[in-house]
Amino acid sequence: MSFSIATWNINSVRLRLPLVLQILQQEKPDILCLQETKCPDDKFPYKAFRAAGYERIAVHGQKGYHGVATLSLRPFEEVEKKEFCNKHDCRHVAVVIKAGDKHIRIHNFYVPAGGDEPDPEINPKFRHKLDFLEEMKAIKADMGDGLSSILVGDLNIAPYENDVWSHKQLLKIVSHTPIETRTLIELCSQGGWVDLMRKKIPEPQKIFTWWSYRAKDWASSNRGRRLDHIWSSPDLVPHMQEMEILTEARGMEKPSDHVPVIMHFDLA
């Protein structure tokens, strides 16, 4: 049985609703996890997504900032929203779904960007990011309840050398500093997670999912970073099939600076 999950930082779900609907019609993932929806729960465009067939929707949003949403073709067995760092800034939602003979908990995360200065002593945004990652360590691939797990989202860190266009030039740039990359790699390994994107496309091959709005010609300069991730519990790795990074979405009219990533599984 085929099963697919997509993750996409949409940078305002209402502003870019036509783009999301286009990708849903084109790709038809079982699950779409959106980040940076910038939309309170009561203003979320439920009607448009349900008309597209995605009747199950779990949102955790707020006005103008942050926010995550998980859209599904499959029923939800559970929905959970966690708060981090006592900030109430809507950066996580988890659902449990059934696919084949697997019951899978799917975490959808939007990790804080961290501001511009990579010094937690003078930049409270960077301190928040590091504290958030520390609290994320409690989210394990195996929570002891018999469920498989998938963790996706905009984790706002490009952990490996070839997750950025220039390792040396970005070592002091937030998202690729040693403290961030080391922390995320530890979070993944110590939590029992498998980085499926790097399992599919190992180092030293480049993987990018984000290109800055500041680039005059993002495609030709190709100064990207891999800020978006798909992890899973080890039991799902043998079922992993195709991965798609929809780079063409960066060239849409009024695009997000991130592009969708889709992972396909065979759970027969």
Asked if the peptide bond before residue 204 counts as cis, ω within 30 degrees of 0, the response is: yes
Residue 154 in marked binding region: yes
Decide: 114 and 125 in contact? Cβ < 8 Å: yes
Give the max Cα distance, the chain. Answer: 52
Q: How many residues does the chain have?
A: 268
Q: Which residues partner with 116 through β-bridges?
A: none
Residue 36 in marked binding region: yes
Catalytic residues: 110, 154, 258
| Amino acid identity at 51 | A
| φ/ψ (deg, to 5) at 94 | -125, 145
Residue 30 in marked binding region: no
Assigned token pair, 134: 């520390």
| φ/ψ (deg, to 5) at 115 | 70, -165
In whole angstroms, what is the distance from residue 60 CA to residue 38 CA? 10
Decide: 69 and 57 in contact? Cβ < 8 Å: yes
Report the sign of the C-alpha dihedral through residues 197, 33, 259, 137, in that order.
Answer: negative
Binding site per annotation, positions for Mg(2+) = 9, 36, 154, 156, 257-258
